[in-house]
């Protein structure tokens, strides 16, 4: 098992979502069925990105002005890599990096685009940069604002709901596109500790896979990425989890495949009724930014020792000996949570979060 101090830690979380801002606002919004419908029409990706990057760095304890660190700060933006997108097109051409925040200065900006798994890929890239010493601080940010082309494409493949969004429900009928922005500040644990920045939730593992396919979920690819994050090639098996923040958007096929693969994996690993939850019935599907919302939501649940419910789910999928759908918020000791993010075209990503001192807690148990 790699030392926990080698894992990057989350030191800042910021959000702009219907129903609330910041980590507290995200927590409230993620528990409110249909919150996605209240997004202001005036929101723009550019303004949202600037706001959340600035607030995430402030929340991490950095004073006004560019962070002063040994190797500096880097920014990773989750976006649709499309020149039509006026908010992110400048980043694709290496210009206007100051648009994100004066706090970030002229930090190098990288745009990542892997459909709805983008956030997971971005977090993996951030962790790799920190491990390689290329930066002391990496801000991962993304924004989702209604794009007619995106919604038309989702409508064309028949995945948009005509009524309430009901993830992991036997009567689910599709997803809703969410609107908002999330930013996470990741730091090497040693660097965060040295400046007194703390950080009690670590990114203990990531796994990403691209297997070109059509829109539908590929069970084999999904299973492969799940196994990769819990049984990495370095032999540091991390098979035990306390909960899963599912990708589950409310689609008929996607939710069933994901829950089925979690059940199969859980059976192999000896899980017992591990709770699976989704916030998509509240926040909607934030597309390229969805994994960041998932990680932020899971981190808040771990910090609060509260297992989230699954808003919109009234008739949960049949319980399996290994996994069950969480339908009620309840107190829980959440020390390791798996976050899933899957996208059209064969993009799959998983992020494993872990509390500081997790291995010592296992010994105490």
The pLDDT of residue 14: 96
The two tokens of residue 214 are 């059509």
The two tokens of residue 190 are 């040693």
- What's the whole-model pTM score? 0.90
pLDDT in tens, 305-326: 999 999 999 999 999 999 999 9
**Diameter over CA atoms, the chain:** 54
Of residues 249, 339, 328, 252, the one with CA closest to residue 31: 328
The pLDDT of residue 135: 86
Question: Domain 4-194 is in which class?
Answer: alpha beta
User: Would you say 151 and 295 are in contact if contact means Cβ atoms under 8 Å apart?
Assistant: no
Which residues of the chain register pLDDT less than 70?
1-6, 64-71, 79-106, 147, 214-216, 232-237, 357-365
Contacts of 8 (CB under 8 A, 6+ apart): 126, 127, 130, 131, 138, 186, 187, 188, 189, 202, 203
Helix (H, G, I), strand (E, B) or coil at 111: strand
Helices (H), 4-138: 22-29, 45-59, 89-92, 118-131
The two tokens of residue 45 are 């990706």
Please state, in angstroms and rounded to a whole number, the distance separating the CA atoms of residues 168 and 310.
8
Handedness of CA 220, 151, 85, 283 (dihedral sign): negative
Boundaries of every domain in the chain: 4-194, 203-356
Is domain 203-356 annotated with CATH 3.40.47.10? yes
């Amino acid at each position: 098992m790699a030392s926990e101090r080698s894992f990057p830690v989350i030191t800042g979380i910021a959000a702009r979502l219907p129903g609330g801002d910041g980590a507290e606002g995200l927590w409230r919004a993620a528990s409110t069925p249909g919150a996605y419908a209240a997004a202001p029409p005036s929101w723009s990706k550019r303004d949202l990105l600037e706001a959340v990057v600035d607030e995430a760095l402030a929340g991490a304890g950095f004073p006004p002005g560019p962070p002063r660190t040994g190797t500096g700060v880097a920014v990773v933006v989750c976006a649709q890599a499309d020149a039509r997108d006026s908010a992110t097109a400048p980043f694709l051409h290496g210009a206007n990096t100051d648009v994100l925040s004066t706090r970030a200065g002229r930090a190098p900006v990288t745009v990542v685009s892997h459909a709805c798994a983008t956030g997971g890929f971005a977090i993996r890239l951030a962790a790799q940069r920190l491990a390689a010493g290329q930066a002391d601080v990496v801000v991962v940010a993304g924004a989702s604002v209604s794009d007619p082309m995106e919604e038309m494409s989702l409508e064309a493949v028949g995945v948009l709901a005509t009524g309430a969004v009901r993830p992991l429900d036997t009567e689910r009928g599709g997803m809703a596109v969410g609107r908002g922005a999330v930013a996470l500040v990741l730091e090497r644990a040693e660097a965060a500790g040295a400046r007194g920045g703390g950080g009690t939730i670590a990114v203990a593992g990531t796994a990403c896979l691209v297997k070109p396919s059509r829109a539908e979920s590929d069970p084999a690819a999904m299973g492969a990425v799940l196994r990769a994050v819990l049984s990495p090639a370095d032999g540091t098996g991390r098979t035990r989890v306390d909960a899963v923040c599912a990708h589950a958007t409310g689609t008929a096929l996607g939710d069933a495949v994901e829950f089925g693969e979690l059940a199969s994996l859980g059976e192999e690993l000896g899980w017992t009724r591990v709770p699976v939850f989704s916030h998509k019935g509240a926040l909607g599907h934030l597309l390229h930014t969805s994994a960041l919302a998932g990680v932020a939501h899971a981190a808040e649940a771990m910090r609060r020792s509260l297992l989230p419910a699954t808003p919109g789910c009234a008739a949960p999928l049949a319980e399996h000996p290994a996994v069950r759908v969480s339908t009620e918020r309840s107190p829980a000791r959440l020390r390791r949570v798996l976050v899933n993010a899957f996208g059209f075209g064969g993009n799959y990503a998983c992020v494993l979060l872990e509390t500081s001192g997790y291995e010592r807690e296992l010994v105490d148990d």
